[in-house]
Amino acid sequence: MAIIITDDCINCGACEPECPNNAIYESDVDWSMSEGTSLKDEQRHDAISEEFYFIVPSKCTECQGFHDEPQCAAVCPVDCCLPDPEREETEEVLLARKKALHE
């Protein structure tokens, strides 16, 4: 499943540079699929949160193919990067996404 940042986030920014897919954005920053990936889709999308750092679910692979564990969760000082129960995904799905993002 994708990881989600809860409202316990203290906006420290530690997680953002750790993501291999550039799936993490600061609050109120618009995002695109092309950033941090090999995709050409540069369309900008509205921020998912105006208060806290957020993760774009379609760019999160739980770090599959890069690391043994989600790097955002590993560095977060308040443990607010958690599996999103609304987005349960198999390892197969996550690895396929990783491949699609970085081909």
Q: Where on the chain is the footprint of ligand SF4 (CB under 6 A)?
A: 3, 5, 9-15, 18-21, 23-24, 53, 55, 60-63, 70-72, 75-76, 78, 80-81
Residue 100 token pair? 């699609």
Which residue lies nearer to ligand SF4 by CB, 11 or 50? 11
Rounded to the nearest whole angstrom, what is the least distance from the CB of residue 98 to ligand SF4 in the complex?
A: 8
Question: Residues in the chain, how many?
Answer: 103
Which residue lies nearer to ligand SF4 by CB, 18 or 46? 18
Report phi then psi at 33, rounded to 5: -70, -30
Which residue lies nearer to ligand SF4 by CB, 62 or 89? 62
Residue 38 token pair? 């090999």
Rounded to the nearest whole angstrom, what is the least distance from the CB of residue 50 to ligand SF4 in the complex?
A: 14
Rounded to the nearest whole angstrom, what is the least distance from the CB of residue 42 to ligand SF4 in the complex?
A: 20
**Helix, strand and coil in the chain, % to nearest 5:** 20, 10, 65
Rounded to the nearest whole angstrom, what is the least distance from the CB of residue 86 to ligand SF4 in the complex?
A: 15
In 1-103, beta strands by DSSP E: 3-5, 24-25, 54-55, 81-83
